[in-house]
């Protein structure tokens, strides 16, 4: 079982920062609005991307305070979403078998579901961890 305050990895954040001009690290740390802005502006024309190199520990600390730690790993869920999201692996990982099968048959609801999950995955994992902690 993971520690309650151990939700996001600073190391993973720095790895995602490499693609941060597309907003990857901002989505991971639960900042979907700025992640979307970075995606469409190439990290605010690379300036915001460079600034985030210094801000990364603050982004991670904010995510640690905001999201519920627990059995389900945010990092594992994000890896599944990024690399196997069209097949619904991140949904299967959360125990959402029905929507996982739906994603598998529709390629992530024709891509629209993937966009939705980029915006909401942290909240989904947090809710699942709260649910599992109440049961346990």
Contact 78, 45 (CB under 8 A): no
State the angle between helix axes of 47-66 and 32-45 in degrees (0 to 180), rounded to the nearest 10.
160
pLDDT at 1: 43
d(CA 111, CA 85): 9
Specify the pTM: 0.90
Structure letter (DSSP) for residue 29: T
Distance from CA of residue 46 to its chain's centroid? 21
pLDDT at 2: 45
Structure letter (DSSP) for residue 96: -
69 exposed, middle or buried (CB, 10 Å; 0-12, 13-18, 19+)?
buried
d(CA 43, CA 23): 7
Name the residue among 91, 111, 107, 87 with its Cα closest to residue 99.
91
pLDDT at 20: 79
Domain residue limits, the chain: 10-66, 74-135
pLDDT tens-digit profile, the chain (136 residues):
445 578 999 999 999 999 878 899 999 999 999 999 999 999 999 999 999 999 999 999 999 999 999 999 999 999 999 999 999 999 999 999 999 999 999 999 999 999 999 999 999 999 999 999 998 6
- Cα 54–Cα 55–Cα 61 angle in degrees, nearest 5: 130
């Amino acid at each position: 079982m993971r520690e309650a305050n151990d939700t996001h990895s600073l190391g993973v954040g720095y790895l995602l920062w490499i693609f941060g001009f597309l907003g990857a690290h901002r989505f991971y740390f639960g900042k979907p609005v700025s992640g979307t802005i970075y995606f469409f502006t190439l990290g605010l024309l690379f300036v915001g991307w460079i600034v985030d190199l210094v801000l990364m520990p603050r982004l991670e600390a904010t995510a640690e305070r905001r999201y519920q730690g627990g059995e389900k790993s945010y990092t594992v869920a994000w890896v599944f979403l990024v690399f196997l999201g069209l097949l619904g692996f991140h949904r299967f990982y959360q125990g959402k078998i029905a929507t996982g099968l739906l994603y598998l048959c529709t390629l992530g609801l024709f891509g629209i579901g993937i966009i939705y999950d980029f915006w909401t995955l942290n909240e989904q994992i947090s809710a699942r961890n709260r649910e599992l902690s109440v049961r346990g």
